[in-house]
Amino acid sequence: MKKLIVAVIIAVVLIISAQTNPTKGEFVVWAKEKLKKESKNKYIDFGLDLLGDKLISSATTTHNYKFFSLYEVRVLNKQVKVIGVFDHFIPISKSDIK
């Protein structure tokens, strides 16, 4: 009986995870808002409003694993990796590209 309950719980979590796996478009919106919060400069915010979606989207590689997605952004010799799961984004690494 315990195995059945555990199997049902795992199945429910996987179904919810698959249904709430964020898209690249949602990632681009999240990344743009995060950049605007960190910049605190109205000119950078204006530039992000004009060109941010296209720039972030073109610099982002998405790996969709059905239950979560991995986003890799490469800009100015920097690489940032972010996991998207349950409609949330979790930065996991930031490194210099050599």
Mean pLDDT computed over 83-98 = 91
Q: Looking at the predicted structure, is the pLDDT value of residue 18 above 90?
A: yes
Mean pLDDT computed over 6-13 = 95
pLDDT score for 31: 93
Interval 27-63: pLDDT, tens? 999 999 998 888 888 888 888 889 889 999 999 999 9
Alpha-carbon gap, residue 11 to 75, rounded angstroms: 38
Alpha-carbon gap, residue 58 to 69, rounded angstroms: 17
Q: Confidence band (pLDDT; 50, 70, 90) for 68?
A: very high
**53 within 8 A of 28, measured Cβ to Cβ:** yes
Q: Confidence band (pLDDT; 50, 70, 90) for 97?
A: confident
Question: What are the boundaries of each domain within the chain?
Answer: 21-96
Q: Looking at the predicted structure, is the pLDDT value of residue 4 above 80?
A: yes
pTM of the predicted model as reported, rounded to 2 decimal places: 0.85
